[in-house]
Amino acid sequence: MVTSQKISTDEQAGARPRKRSGLDVVILIGLFTVVAIDVASMAIKGALIPPVVVLSSLYLLCAIIVATGWRWSAIFPLVLCTLGLVGELTNGFPVYALTHPSADRLAFASFAINYPLLIMVIGVSAVKLVQVIRREAPHLPRWSPLALGCVAGVMAGALLIGLITQAPAATEASGSAAGTATVHLKAATFAPDIVALHTGDTLTLIDDMPIPHTLTNGVWSADNHPVPGTEPGAPVVSDVALNSSAVTIGPFTSPGTYHIYCTVHPGMTLTILVQ
């Protein structure tokens, strides 16, 4: 009789639906927000960025697993978010974007929101995993409101800094030597994106950031479609790769308007006016 009652109780426990704890809700909010920001950033840039697509897919998978209410689900965001965060920070671009807000404000805002959220998800996942190992019912600790407030404060402060940081003034062409003009390559733009030269001048392009660019003759159309082509009299630029490096193009021997674009970043076009 006792055995029958025990079996019946165990069956009821096994049939009991899984419940999501407050920790699960915080994890889900963090993961879904990160994915939404990544998708919005790619939509604004008008291009799919493969590493971002992969990471967003992994974070979405973590969110689905956590949403099931499985007691060990915190393992997935703990491991995958840690690997994703470390992997991104070793790239070089996020560090540059965070320390140079005016270079790419969209990238800065994305990183300034996503990284505190990922750290929050990692911390909350670790707390839940410890509670599960101790056979405790997963619950938000008493200090959680303070911790979550700190995360919100870090994001708000970072966004405010990025908003008030002024971009350095760009001159039409900063001459580094007689007959030479210099244009800098930022995250996804030329600075400046219009430069004036005299006949016989050369043009030096400097990639200031650890971001790969591939340059060729042509332009991006208004709807962000590449239009390759070399104008008559223009120096040939064909798939010139830059990554924290520089290249000198020219001399430009004929007056006219010429264009160079980056095949990696939609909309990144340089206009060269030769007089």
Co-location of 247 and 157 in the same domain? no
Angle subtended by helix axes 144-164 and 22-45, to nearest 10: 20
In whole angstroms, give the CA distance from residue 264 to residue 12: 58
Residues of the chain above pLDDT 70, percent: 85
CA nearest to 78, candidates 21, 37, 27, 112 = 27
Identify the domain boundary among 144, 164, 184: 164
Contact 211, 93 (CB under 8 A): yes
107-137 confidence digits (pLDDT tens) = 889 999 999 999 999 999 999 999 999 999 9
- What are the phi and psi torsion angles at 233 (to 5°)? 90, -5
Residues 6+ apart with CB under 8 A from 169: none
Co-location of 38 and 114 in the same domain? yes
Co-location of 74 and 132 in the same domain? yes
Co-location of 88 and 117 in the same domain? yes
13 located within any domain: no
pLDDT band at 174 (very low <50, low <70, confident <90, very high): very low
Distance of CA 272 to the CA centre of its chain: 30
> What global pTM score does this model have?
0.62
Co-location of 153 and 187 in the same domain? no
Q: Is the per-residue pLDDT at 171 higher than 60? A: no
Domain that holds residue 77: 19-164
Co-location of 224 and 123 in the same domain? no
DSSP string, 30-42: HHHHHHHHHHHHH
In whole angstroms, give the CA distance from residue 173 to residue 141: 57
| pLDDT score recorded for residue 93 | 67
- 15-50: b or e for each residue (b if 16 or more CB lie within 10 Å)? eeeeebbebbebbbbbbebbbebbeebbeebeeeee
Co-location of 152 and 236 in the same domain? no
Co-location of 40 and 155 in the same domain? yes
CATH of the domain at 242: 2.60.40.420
Co-location of 77 and 200 in the same domain? no
